[in-house]
Structure 1
Amino acid sequence: MESLNFNSQERGLHQLQLVVKQLDSICMTWFKQLEIYLSDLYHNNLSHDVDAFKPAFRTFFSEEHQTFRSKMFHNMDQLRLQFERESLHKVNVKNCLEVLPTQFKEFFSSQGVNSLDHLHQCWQQDFKDYTYYEPKTYRRDLLKNMDILEDFIDKSVIKYGELRMKENEVNALKKTGKQLNAEILHEHKIEKSFNLQSKNVQINPVQAVDASLVVTKSSGIDSKNNILENALSKSMNETQMQMQEEKVNIGKAFDAGWVVIENSGTKSDKQETNSRSENYTTHAVYADIRPVNDQEPFANV
C-alpha cells in the first residue's frame, strides 16, 4: 500500500515538473516577445525620426527618452536574469515584472494618446514614424503582452509552490520508506536469528530417530558392559571365594599336617619317654640289684 502511494506521488511530482517546465518555456517566450516589442522604442537610429520622436515621447511618457530607456534596459535585464535562474526565483520574476507597468504608468494613462487636437495628432504621427505603431495601438499591445506574461508568471509561481510541496511529500515518503525498509530489514534479521536459534533447539525427526538409535545402542552397549562387568565381578568373586576356600583348605591341611607331626612327635616323645622310663626302670632295677659295695657312702654329718 505504501509502495502504491509512493508511486502515485512520484507520478504527480513528475507531472508537476513537466507543467512547471512548460510554463517556464512559455514565460520565456512571452518575455522575448515583450523585449522585442519594447525595442521599438529605441532601435530606430534615423536622426530626423529621433529628433521628432523625443518631444512626442516626453509628451506621452512624461519623461526624457534617454532616461526612460536606461531604466527600461535595467528592468528588462533583471527580469531576464530571473527567468534564466532556477524556479526558486519565480517570486522575484514577478516582482521584477511589476516594475515595468509602474514605469509605463504615465504612458498607459496619458490622455494625449487618444487626443484629437492638432498638436497631439502631430505627436501621434511622430511616434508612429519612429515605432511604426500608433500610440494607442502600441499601448494596447504592450498592455496585452505584459498581462499575458504576468498571467503565466502567476501560474508558474503557483505551480512552483505546488511542486515544492510535492517534492517535500515525496522526500518525506522516501525518508519514511527508507526508515520502514530499515525496520523491516531489522525485523527480518531478528526473525532470521530467531529461526536459527529455533532450529538449534528443535530436533529433526530423522535426527531424533538417529539420536534414539544412538541412545538405544549406547544403552545396549552400556547394558552389555554392565552384564560383562557383573559376570566378571561374579567370576572374580567366585575365584576369590575359591582361592579363599583353597587357602582355608590349605590352612586346614597345613594345620592337620602339624597335628600329624605333633602327634608323631608326641608319640615319639612318648616312646622316648617310655624308653627312658624303661631304661630308668631297668637302671633302677639294676641299681637295686647292684652290690652293696656299689652304694655311695653317706655323707658325713
Structure 2
Amino acid sequence: METKDTLSSCSNSEEQQMQQIHDKAKESCMVSFRRLHSHLKLLSNNDLKGTRTESGFKRAFATLFGQDIETFTGTMFLNVDQLEKQLDKEEFQEIGSMASFKVLETQFQMFIKSQMYMDDEYVVMTRNYFLQYTQLEILEFRDTLIQHMESVKKSIDERAKHKQEYNSWVNERQMQTTEDKVDSSKALDASLSSTLGNARIV
C-alpha cells in the first residue's frame, strides 16, 4: 500500500512539474508574441493621422513594402490576431501555430529581403519619413523585426518540444498503469488458484 501511495505522490509531483513547464513555455511564447506585436504597431501610428509625416510615410511605405499601407496593415493585423489565437490556446497545436506564424512571416519577406533601401541615394526621403513616423531607422526596424520573428518561432518550437515530452510522459504513465493492472490481475488469479487448490486438498 505504501509503495502505491509513494508512486501516486511521485506521479502527482511529476504532473505538477510538467504543468509548470507547460505554463512557463506558454508565457514565454506570449511574451515573444507581445514584443513582436508591439513592434508591428509602429507601422500604424494614429497620433500622426492627417499630418505631412503620415503622407510622406505612406509614400515611403509603398516604396519599401510594394503595397499601400492600409491594405498591408489591415492584412497584417488580421494575421497577428490569428497567430495570437493559436498561441493563446491552452491545448497547444504546433501545426496551427506554425502555419499562422508562416503567413505573417511571408507577408514581410519582400521587405526583409530587399536591398534597395540600403545604398540608393534616392531613398533619403524614404528613410527620413520612415524614421519620423516609426522613430526607428529602416534597418533598425528590419533587424528588430527579424529578432522578434525568430524569438516567436523559437518559442513555438520550445512549446512543441514540451508538448512532445508531456505526451511521452502520459503514455508511459498509462503503460505503467496497464502493467500494474495486469500484475494485480495475475496476482489475484494466482491467489484464487492457490485458495481453490487448498480447498480441494481439504
TM-score class normalised by the smaller sequence: 0.7 to 0.9
Q: What letter is aligned with 2:188? A: L
Identity %: 25
* Cα distance in 2 between the residues matched to 1:177 and 1:21: 31
Which of 119, 135, 140 aligns to 1:137? It is 140
Q: TM-score, normalised by structure 1?
A: 0.58
Q: C-alpha separation between the residues in 1 aligned to 2:96 and 2:194?
A: 55
> Which of 59, 82, 85 is matched with 1:81 structurally?
85
**Corresponding letter in the other structure for 1:96:** S
Contact 2:79–2:104, Cα closer than 8 Å, also in 1: yes
Separation in structure 1 between the aligned mates of residue 176 and residue 104 of structure 2, nearest angstrom: 42
Tell me the equivalent position of 1:39.
Answer: 41
Change (3 A) 1:44 1:129: farther
Equivalent residue, structure 1, for 2:165? 162
Tell me which amino acid in the other structure corresponds to 1:160.
K
Match of 1:107 among 87, 97, 111: 111
Greater RCO structure (CA 8 Å; 6+ sep): 2
Kept after mapping to 1: 8 A contact 2:26/2:159: yes
Deviation string 1:8-39 (CA, Å, 9 cap, x unpaired) is 77766654443233111100111111111111
Structure 1 residue 151 and structure 2 residue 168: aligned?
A: no
Q: Distance in 1 between matches of 2:116 and 2:101?
A: 26
Q: 1:153 to 1:88 in 2, by over 3 A?
A: closer
1:120 aligned partner: 123
- Counterpart pick for 2:185 among 177, 182, 186: 182
Conserved 8 A contact 1:13-1:167: no
Q: Which position in structure 2 is the counterpart of 1:68?
A: 72
Task: Quote how far apart the aligned CAs of 1:154 are.
Answer: 1.1
Q: Which amino acid in 2 is paired with 1:120?
A: V
Quick one: which of 15, 26, 29 aligns to 1:27? 29
Give the 5 Å matches for 1:198-209. 201=202
Q: Given the alignment of the two structures, is residue 172 of structure 1 paired with residue 175 of structure 2, yes or no?
A: yes
Paired with 2:166 and 2:108, the residues of 1 have a C-alpha distance of: 33
The question of whether the paired residues in 1 share the 8 Å contact of 2:86 and 2:92 is answered with no
**AA of the residue aligned to 2:57:** F
CA RMSD, Structure 1 to Structure 2 (Å): 2.7
Deviation at 1:53, TM superposition (A): 1.0
CA displacement at 1:82 relative to structure 2:
0.7
Q: Which runs of 5+ in 1 are unaligned?
A: 202-301
User: For residue 165 of structure 1, what is the amino acid of its counterpart?
Assistant: S
Deviations 1:242-263 (A, max 9, x none): xxxxxxxxxxxxxxxxxxxxxx
| Contact kept in structure 2, 1:91 and 1:157, CA below 8 Å | no
Aligned residues: 197
Q: Distance in 2 between matches of 1:85 and 1:190?
A: 52
* Structure 2 residues not aligned, in runs of 5+: none
Describe how 1:189-228 pairs up with structure 2 within 5 A.
189-195=192-198, 197=199, 201=202
Q: For residues 66 and 25 of structure 2, what CA distance do their matches in structure 1 show? A: 35
- 2:30 maps to amino acid: M
- 1:178-235 Cα shifts (integer Å, max 9, x gaps): 232233234334434545x27x82xxxxxxxxxxxxxxxxxxxxxxxxxxxxxxxxxx
Counterpart of 1:30, as a letter, is: S
Larger mean Cα displacement after TM superposition, 58-67 or 12-21: 12-21
Return the alpha-carbon distance in structure 1 between the equivalents of residues 125 and 45 of structure 2.
Answer: 21
SS at match of 2:70: helix
Aligned residues of 2:92 and 2:159 also touching (Cα < 8 A): no
Deviation at 1:124, TM superposition (A): 0.9
